Chains A and B, each alone.
Chain A
Amino acid sequence: MTLPVLELVDLGKVYRGRKGGVQAVKDVSISVGAGEVYGFLGPNGAGKSTTIRMLLGLISPSAGEIHLFGEPLRNNPAVLRRVGSLVDGGAFYPFLSGRKNLEVLARTHGAGADRIDALLEQVGLSDSAKRRVKGYSTGMRQRLGVAAALLGDPDLVILDEPVNGLDAAGIQEMRLLIRSLAADHGKTVFLSSHLLHEVQQVCDRIAIISRGEVIREATIRDLLAADEGLRLQAAPLELARSVIEERWAVEPDGDTILVRATQDEAPEVVRRLVGAGIDIFGLTPERRNLEEVFLSITQEEAADA
């Protein structure tokens, strides 16, 4: 693998308050390769935004290291100039127009002024560019936020909840945009979300974070494959279960059982059941979507606590 674009090593953050500290992020270690679309998934309060704020140098980590493009962020905050970001749905100067906001940002950045018109066009804000941001809808702010994130032609784009507040069409557009950033422009994208089914379609790899800790990291494919199964309806059910259990794990579920076998193994399952004289009423492959996987993982976590 080439040098990771983003690498977090045992990253941690404790928010100090009057009543002791809140451990918002703990021992997060992940690495994101060039051209990858990486999803950072977790329920509310999991620590996604905290991690992203540390990546952007907005808050300082309590523990651990952040490496961007192979350089430690601590010693070299200037690497952030190669990073574009959208946090909190795009906060802008309310008294300036969308265009002026991008101009302010281009000046701050020292680059990108010549890209403003093209970006406004790209995010569909050309017609409202001269209006004050104060009057923008949530979706418009989010689009302006995307334009702002891309202004400096960054190599790494960090998006905190990019589809928050967008309508169905907006979500679809955002998804296409993110894919095209990676596929057509070779950018690396790191995004956070709690809307898993959306992320399922854009990310190559994800980390699931819960209560500050990464509890699973995998490619989408592996994550789903690990949770494949066959749903069996048969009689007598108890007998079927004992036959199956000789070879596969099973989960009884009402008047069916879930067999932890892949679809390739279905004929073998059938042969064994038929051999034992069991009547089969149905055997359907079941592929849980990421949402279910995610829910079960985070619920396990919660149950363990």
Chain B
Amino acid sequence: MLEAFAAETLKFRRHRATWFLVWIYPIGFLLLSVLLICVGLIQARPETAAPAASKWIESTAAIWYVPPHMFGRYLIAAFAAFVFAGEYGWNTWKLVVPHRSRSALIAAKFAMTFLFLYGAFLLTGLLTLLMGWIGDVVLGSPIPEGITAAALAKAQYLGAVAALAPVLVTIAYTSLAAVLTRSTIAALVIGLVAVTAEQAFLGLAPILSIYAPRLVWGLYQLLPGYHFDNLSSWLGQGSASQTRLPELEPIAWSWPASLALVGAWVVGVAGLTFVSFKRQDIN
């Protein structure tokens, strides 16, 4: 398993898809923040008071808004499509399959996809902190009092945990599509459609529930979308995310129940990926 992971890392660390879909976060952020600092230096600025420490800390974890967002999930789906379907296009499964168990090969792909993405987000988080501090120093803006290492770490931690569920579910959807369709493009399209449908359903549920109230109410709780919001609400505010569909009892799950449901989605869909790949003929 570790060997398969090492091989996967070697394959993808400098692949074009990885540059454009994963390494882009830290690199893009770095370039952007340097640009903003330069602009700040040129423009005259009014004197401002230091922002609240909590605001300053929160801004260092801004990258974690990306992965749960629909657009962020598109990029994750695209990367997963390359990772899981690439071998079909390059015809390379036959090169590696005889040497490792199929489960280990797929597990290595899951691990690599997840760790590359989380590594990139975490690095971007650290860069946000560093560039925020450098920016304030260079531009002479005051840095608020009361920023502690523990508070900074907690902000990253909360962001990282809240992003877990949508990232894992997105990777799982796309991995299954990749193995079943054996095509990067098809996996990408199915991944995007699944993410879009899931998120659009959340927004449209109040309208749709006019036509089929019970069905929509049930789906709303069965699909993972609500539970992403609920889990991040529990993490952030310490309370459930409340949803009311017209004329139906309000939806508000406890966090362990939501966690179990999202876990079931990830394990179920990823499990199907493993089973399908194990039984697949490779031509």
Chain A residues packing against B (C-beta within 8 Å)? 53, 56-60, 77-78, 80-81, 83, 85, 87-88, 91-96, 100, 103-105, 107-110, 148, 152
Contact = CB atoms under 8 A, between A and B. Distances in A.
Contacts of B91: 88, 91
B96 A108 contact: yes
23 contacts: A53-B281, A53-B283, A56-B97, A57-B97, A58-B283, A59-B282, A60-B279, A60-B281, A77-B101, A87-B94, A88-B94, A91-B91, A91-B94, A103-B10, A105-B7, A105-B95, A105-B96, A107-B6, A107-B7, A108-B3, A108-B4, A109-B3, A148-B95
B218 to A, nearest CB: 36
Contacts of B93: 58
Contacts, number: 75
Interface in B71-116: 90-101, 105
Given A80-B98, A105-B95, A95 B282 contact: no
Nearest to A81: B99
B90 A93 contact: yes
B214 interface: no
B45 interface: no
Contact of A91 (B6, B15, B90, B98): B90
A103 B7 CA distance: 8
A58 B99 contact: no
Contacts of A107: 3-4, 6-7, 10
B11 interface: yes
B16 interface: yes
A53 B10 contact: no
A56 B97 CA distance: 8
A96 B279 CA distance: 29
A51 to B, nearest CB: 13
A85 B94 CA distance: 9
A298 B131 CA distance: 74
Interface of B: 3-4, 6-7, 10-11, 15-16, 90-101, 105, 279, 281-283
Given A93-B11, A107-B6, A59 B281 contact: yes
B101 A104 contact: no
Which secondary structure characterizes the binding site on chain B?
A: helix
A95 B15 contact: yes
A104 B10 contact: yes
Contacts of A57: 97-98
A83 B98 contact: yes
B92 A93 contact: yes
Given A88-B91, A105-B99, A108-B100, A58 B281 contact: yes
Taking each of B91, B99, B281, which has the highest tally of chain A beta carbons within 10 Å of its own beta carbon? B99
A104 B98 contact: no
Contacts of B96: 104-105, 108
Contacts of A104: 7, 10-11, 96
The 7 tightest CB contacts between A and B, nearest first, are A91-B91, A107-B7, A59-B281, A110-B3, A108-B7, A58-B282, A80-B98
A22 to B, nearest CB: 12
A161 to B, nearest CB: 14
A96 B4 CA distance: 17
Contact of A53 (B92, B279, B282): B282
Contacts of A91: 90-92, 94-95
Contact of A152 (B7, B97, B99, B279): B99
Given A56-B94, A88-B91, A91-B92, A109 B99 contact: yes
A95 B16 contact: yes
A276 to B, nearest CB: 62
A94 to B, nearest CB: 6
B212 to A, nearest CB: 35
Nearest to B104: A108
A53 B77 CA distance: 31
Nearest to B97: A58
A113 to B, nearest CB: 10
Nearest to A49: B283
Nearest to A55: B98
A49 to B, nearest CB: 9
A143 B94 CA distance: 17
Given A77-B101, A81-B99, A108-B99, 5 more contacts: A60-B279, A60-B281, A83-B98, A92-B95, A108-B96
A101 to B, nearest CB: 8
A108 B16 CA distance: 21
Contacts of B105: 108
Nearest to A79: B98
Given A59-B282, A107-B7, A80 B90 contact: no
